[in-house]
């Protein structure tokens, strides 16, 4: 799901103005890709403590993405439907990451 979210970020920002290529476009894409990348990197470490640390970093990237989505919506780059769709996906992924962290901490 995190990879799907990253792909959605790329699709969504294709419609952003060219003057945002080094601004919000880059920030949204980087934060979106970072979520899945940190989950994968943490899992690859094969140490529970490291995995949890990278999941928390992933949570931070998710919150960063949510902030960029809110800014993009408020300045008119994303319509209401697109904003709701992205925030719902972010919420779901956030719940999944939190549940995974809790599960790993119980081991």
Mean pLDDT by 10 residues, the chain (107 residues): 97 94 95 98 94 98 98 96 96 98 92
Distance CA 92, CA 53 (A): 20
Q: For the domain 2-105, what is the CATH superfamily, name and number?
A: 23S rRNA-intervening sequence (1.20.1440.60)
pLDDT of the residue at 46 = 87
Residue 79 has φ and ψ, to the nearest 5°, of -75, 170
pLDDT of the residue at 24 = 95
pLDDT of the residue at 107 = 75
The domain segmentation of the chain, as residue ranges, is 2-105
pLDDT of the residue at 102 = 97
pLDDT of the residue at 32 = 97
Residue by residue, DSSP assigns the chain as -HHHHHHHHHHHHTTS-GGGTTTHHHHHHHHHHHHHHHHHHHHHT--HHHHHHHHHHHHHHHHHHHHHHHHHHHTTSS-HHHHHHHHHHHHHHHHHHHHHHHHHHT-
């Amino acid at each position: 799901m995190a990879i799907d979210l990253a792909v959605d970020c790329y699709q969504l920002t294709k419609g952003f103005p060219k003057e945002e290529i080094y601004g919000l476009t880059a920030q949204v894409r980087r934060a979106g890709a970072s979520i899945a990348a940190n989950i994968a990197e943490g899992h690859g470490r094969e140490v529970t403590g490291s995995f949890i640390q990278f999941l928390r970093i992933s949570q931070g990237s998710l919150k960063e993405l949510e902030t960029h989505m809110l800014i993009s919506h408020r300045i008119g780059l994303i319509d209401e439907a697109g904003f709701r769709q992205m925030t719902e996906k972010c919420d779901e992924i956030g719940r999944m990451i939190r549940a995974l962290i809790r599960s790993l901490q119980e081991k």
